[in-house]
Structure 1
Amino acid sequence: MGKEKRVLVLSNMYPGKISQTFGIFVKNQVEAIKDRGMDLDVVAVHDPRMGKPFVLKKYLLWLIRILLVFLTKGRRYDLVHAHYVFPSGLFALWFKKRFGTKIVVTAHGGDIDKMSKKGGFFFKKTKQILQEADYVVAVGENLRRDITETFEVDENKTAVINMGVNRQVFQPMDKGQAKDAVGLSQEKFSLLFVGNLIKQKGLLELLEAYKSLKQTNPHLELHLMGPVKNEEFMNEMKHKIHEEAMKEVHIHPPKDQAEVATWMAAADVFVLPSHMEGFGLVALEAMSCHTPVVGSDVGGLTYLLQDAGVPFEPKNAASLADAVEKVMNSEELRATLIENGERKAWENDQEKLLDNLMDIYDRIGGKAQ
């Protein structure tokens, strides 16, 4: 790179006291950039809670902090990197319009698939941000296609760069040792899901598939790990588990990345049944731990699962059960998935992808004069 750039990162997701996993992928990238000696500041939302009072408070505080940085230090930044298009990208535009600061926007999926579809205002603002950004990064190929076609963004200023897997953390372990480390029985076949415990992650279909599989596989158990985002949905899940006597379904709170990595290495199959997924980094992390992955055929997961996982039809419990059963019943398939998953993890190593991001930082040059 040429002259060292001063970078400001804006994100509406970032780990904090309330949650160590909220937007952890953004923090991982930030820390990796800092490790390369770059002068970088972060202004982010650290509170994952979604009730109306929490949302109003956290976004108001975030806005105030951005305004303070804008007024006191705005001129010093050469580049603003906004994670999630709206509203992060909108705040980034303030710096571009006032100080000529260059802007990189990373679209993660929900900002394009959900936020932009909430109404005309959100679509218009999303389009404005994407078109006025100096560079747009999408975490998946389908996402980039949507950005260039639906929002009419010049494809020459777009790139596909996912957040990458930290292979220093997510690495293979001996399966037996990993099971002992997290307290899993060696005799059980363990399915693992890690992510937000919300309906959109396909958890009701996962429970239905597990119920079906359990009838012919009594040694099967299911572990769900992640933060509760919606108490009403959580109660619905617990009621279903209790009512249908699913005694070997276990719900775990969020854990730090090192613990998650051990759980992934211990699991026999990792399942990601999302209704939509910009990339599906968590599936890549499981592959990096040499655990076979079964996932819904949506968004960025479609790319990830090519040869390295078993896809199934989204929102279809029977299709999910069939996919899991294929993996359970074939040692040869599991070995193939582990081998191809290792290759996919190597291709998407965080450090390699960071090189690509640094090239973009370099390519768009310094602050406009």
Structure 2
Amino acid sequence: MRILYLTNLYPYNGNPVSGIFITRRLEEIAQRKIDFKVYATVIQYCNFFKYFYYLKTRSFPSLYKELKNKNLEYYMYYKYIFCHSNIYDCFTRLFSKDKYYKYLQMKFFNVIENSEDISKFDIIHAHPTYPTGYIALMFKKKYGIPYVVTAHGSDIHTYPKSNLEIRKTTLEILNRADKVIFVSKRLLDIAVSVLEYKGNNFVIIPNGVDVRKFTPMDKFEIRRKLQLSTDYKYVGFVGNLIPIKNAQLLPEIFNLVKKSYNNVKFIVIGFGELYSYIQRECQKYNLDVIFTGIVSHDDIPFWLNALDVLVLPSAEEGWGNVILEALACGVPTVGSNAGGIPEVIGSEDFGRVVEFKENFVNIFANNIVELLNHPLSPVKLRERALQYSWKNIIDKELEVYKSILNKIY
């Protein structure tokens, strides 16, 4: 079996753990000696686009950041291909995002086609559905090669809602795929109810967790190593500090927890457009919060082990893999009922799920305090995570490939 992977989720110098779920899949595939090739599609924006993006977000588009330190293990699997977006492309984007992305994907299509003998591949797997899945669709139309797409989150619950043409293209990619992998049932439900996806070619396979790396450690020793106080309990957030994660709610949540449970400190791991705002609000509340910025994925297990409770108040979430990583470390999560979060947490034996309703923030904070006062069994938390080892996840994905190829041959 020879697999062609296509993705616009990949590690880069500004964020070497970007696309980590793709990288972990590739590591497991490589260990099994399966022949594969991975193309990472990189858009390099013109100065015109970067200027207006900066005016809107006060940051530069992450995909433009240079790809350096390629000696790092994260980069070894990826072949980066670049597409330069000029001023004309940027104006096209203003009037038709779907036309713009299709145009760029066709550029990537041509680069890959000129670099590879496409006919030698047995199957194509694109991450995520849109826009990368469009390249897989084009290869199927031209070469008849079957393709799989994995729907991760924003490609289903956000992008199609923003633009009618993107919705139509996403629906075509889904319906013409030989198999669609959804990382959660909730994501499937959105595709069916909102996008009117036919739902006759799907399977639900979540992202996995590296249970060797994410494992329980001695909290006292870990906190000493991270130069944290051993006299307090810690509540923390790990992820992008952006509105879709409801990161703007963290200061208020932390403040309410502090009012009910005095012996607590807070940790915010990650970066994003809300970083400065969250810092300012935490200072207003006079909270003791450690802001780490972006942390290497290799160091995340240490930080998770330092926590007593992880929080994830997201407005939307495809699967919520950080919850799984915390479970593997024996740490419970208080999360919203958005997306796949309830599916990861499972039951009150493994954390708390808070429904979006009046007094959400107060109820959320109360659940954190409850877990601080009544800790859950780390052993049981770990046992749940073991079900989602990358070995088990890749076993399921390989079965998907085999079932498709068996139908053809």
SS of 2:130's equivalent in the other structure is helix
Correspondent of 1:347 among 364, 387, 401:
387
Contact 1:296 1:314 in 2 (8 A): yes
* Equivalence for 2:362: 318
Q: For structure 2, list consecutive stretches of 5 or more residues without a partner in the other structure.
A: 54-59, 66-81, 85-103
Correspondent of 2:16 among 11, 20, 32:
20
- 1:8-41 Cα offsets, whole Å, 9 max, x none, are 1111111122211111111111221122111111
| Aligned-partner residue type, residue 343 of structure 1 | E
Q: For structure 1, list consecutive stretches of 5 or more residues without a partner in the other structure.
A: none
* Equivalence for 1:227: 271
Identical residues among aligned pairs (%): 29
Contact 1:144 1:159 in 2 (8 A): no
* Equivalence for 1:60: 83
Tell me by how many angstroms 1:221 deviates.
0.9
- C-alpha separation between the residues in 1 aligned to 2:260 and 2:370? 13
Which stretch shifts more, 301-310 or 43-52? 43-52
1:244 and 2:285 correspond: yes
* Equivalence for 2:309: 269
Which stretch shifts more, 65-74 or 116-125? 65-74
- C-alpha separation between the residues in 2 aligned to 1:273 and 1:45? 31
Q: Say how many residue pairs are matched.
A: 357
Contact 2:14 2:62 in 1 (8 A): no
Equivalences for 1:185-204 in 2 at 5 Å?
A: 185-204=229-248
- C-alpha separation between the residues in 1 aligned to 2:43 and 2:341? 27
Correspondent of 1:71 among 109, 114, 126:
114
1:9 and 2:5 correspond: yes
Contact 1:108 1:279 in 2 (8 A): yes
| Aligned-partner residue type, residue 89 of structure 1 | G
* Equivalence for 2:404: 364
Contact 1:134 1:157 in 2 (8 A): yes
Change over 3 Å in CA distance of 1:24–1:179 after alignment to 2: same
- C-alpha separation between the residues in 2 aligned to 1:236 and 1:91? 38
CA RMSD of aligned residues (A): 2.5
Contact 2:44 2:63 in 1 (8 A): no
* Equivalence for 1:144: 188
Contact 1:225 1:251 in 2 (8 A): yes
Equivalences for 1:289-308 in 2 at 5 Å?
A: 289-307=329-347, 308=350
Change over 3 Å in CA distance of 1:368–1:203 after alignment to 2: same
Contact 2:260 2:369 in 1 (8 A): no
Which structure has the higher relative contact order (CA within 8 Å, separation 6+)?
1
Change over 3 Å in CA distance of 1:206–1:47 after alignment to 2: farther
- C-alpha separation between the residues in 1 aligned to 2:407 and 2:296? 37
| Aligned-partner residue type, residue 259 of structure 2 | Q
TM score, norm. by length of structure 1: 0.90
- C-alpha separation between the residues in 2 aligned to 1:121 and 1:301? 29
- 1:51-110 Cα offsets, whole Å, 9 max, x none, are 547479687357445421123312322211111111111111111011111100000111
Which stretch shifts more, 183-192 or 49-58? 49-58
* Equivalence for 2:29: 33
SS of 2:276's equivalent in the other structure is helix
Tell me by how many angstroms 1:339 deviates.
3.8
Tell me by how many angstroms 1:235 deviates.
2.6
Tell me by how many angstroms 1:48 deviates.
11
| Aligned-partner residue type, residue 183 of structure 1 | Q
1:134 and 2:157 correspond: no
Correspondent of 1:258 among 298, 301, 321:
298
Correspondent of 2:324 among 284, 288, 302:
284
Change over 3 Å in CA distance of 1:47–1:234 after alignment to 2: farther
Contact 2:123 2:146 in 1 (8 A): yes
Contact 1:223 1:249 in 2 (8 A): yes
- C-alpha separation between the residues in 2 aligned to 1:215 and 1:160? 41
Contact 2:127 2:151 in 1 (8 A): yes
- C-alpha separation between the residues in 2 aligned to 1:310 and 1:182? 27
